[in-house]
Amino acid sequence: MWTKRLVGFAFLVTGSVGWAAAEEPHVLPVTAYVEAHVLSWINDPVIVAAVKAQNIESARLDPASIEALDQTWRSEAGSDGHPMIDKVLASPLSIFLRKKQDESDGSITEIFVIDASGLNVGQSDITSDYWQGDEAKFIEGMRAVDGHVFVDIAEKDESTQMVQSQASVAITDESGRPIGVITVGINLDQL
């Protein structure tokens, strides 16, 4: 499971300019991978339609409701029964994301899409929490437009024992306005 990280330990990069700190060797290969294999499908109609639909619903939620949803998700993630999680995993978006992960031949460890409120819309695997709104992947990901890629720190995932980094990019509407974020876990051993 991913742990929460501070925004100050991450980098926003673009493949053409390279805003990344040179001492972080994983940032440029992760960015190159995302540019070559992910940017072409992040604004697929399946993704955009799901984010737009959930944005309508989540815009009605107050912070207490968001916290309650997150608590429900967290309790389900640690139990045998998880109707809320199962509903998200059965969505057309989650099926699309699992297909993209499978097509990566092990390079992508996880994919999840987040709405404008920071809530999961779809995912390839179960995440530890439902609300990502306080995490760097969401905060910086909403700023990662026009080909920019936010690359987070490299770390060993406790469940998979792989060294990986999450890369996040804004999902935009037809006008180019960010409406959500896609986060892709990259297996650094595959790069």
pLDDT at 145: 85
On the question of pLDDT at 191 being above 60, the answer is yes
* Residue 20, token pair as written in the block: 């990344």
CA–centroid distance for 135 within its chain: 11
Instruction: Provide the CATH number for the domain formed by 7-16+23-190 in this structure.
Output: 3.30.450.20
Residue 94 phi, psi dihedral angles, 5° rounding: -65, -40
CA–centroid distance for 55 within its chain: 16
**With the CA atoms of 152, 144, 142 and 11 taken in that order, what torsion angle do they form, in degrees rounded to the nearest 10?**
30
179, 55 contact by CB (below 8 A) = yes
Residues in the chain: 191
Read off the pLDDT of residues 131-171 as tens digits, 9 standing for 90 and up. Answer: 999 999 999 999 988 888 999 989 887 666 789 999 999 99
Half-sphere exposure at residue 155, Cβ-oriented, CA atoms within 13 angstroms = 16
Read off the pLDDT of residues 84-93 as tens digits, 9 standing for 90 and up. Answer: 999 999 999 9
| Proportion of the chain above pLDDT 70, given as a percent | 86
